[in-house]
């Protein structure tokens, strides 16, 4: 349990530093651009339409749709995008090693 608390504390500290420096917002913008560029957004939109068509508009809530598309959305993120973001985070952490 102490390890989990320490990990959670570290994540919170890193997240706070990302927010304070504006890096979190830059990473979000980079992610948005990369996901649009690789067609992820269009693929997910098409999947949403398929789910709605399959279940019927009157039978689908926003929560249902989110639950249905979230796993596919995560799976569709290209490894190259994940690696680029991870590298950017690692670089940020190296520059702010005092955390």
Per-residue model confidence (pLDDT) at position 28:
97
Cα torsion angle, 91, 94, 98, 99, sign: positive
Domain 1-98 fold is Serum Albumin; Chain A, Domain 1 (1.10.246)
Per-residue model confidence (pLDDT) at position 6:
87
Ordered by start, the domain boundaries in the chain are 1-98
Per-residue model confidence (pLDDT) at position 5:
86
* pLDDT, tens digit only, all 99 positions of the chain: 667 788 899 899 999 999 999 999 999 999 999 999 999 999 999 999 999 999 998 999 999 999 999 999 999 999 999 999 999 999 999 998 765
Burial of 11 (0-12, 13-18, 19+ CB in 10 A): exposed
Model-wide pTM > 0.75? yes
Residue ranges in 22-98 assigned as alpha helix (H): 23-37, 40-55, 62-76, 79-95
Per-residue model confidence (pLDDT) at position 97:
76
């Amino acid at each position: 349990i102490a390890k989990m608390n320490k990990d959670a504390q570290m994540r919170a500290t890193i997240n706070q530093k990302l927010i304070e420096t504006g890096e979190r917002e830059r990473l979000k913008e980079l992610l948005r651009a990369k996901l649009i560029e690789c067609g992820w957004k269009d693929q997910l939109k098409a999947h949403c339409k398929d789910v709605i068509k399959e279940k019927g508009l009157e039978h689908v809530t926003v929560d249902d749709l989110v639950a249905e598309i979230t796993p596919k959305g995560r799976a569709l993120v290209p490894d190259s995008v994940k690696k680029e973001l991870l590298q950017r985070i690692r670089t940020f952490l190296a520059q702010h090693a005092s955390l």
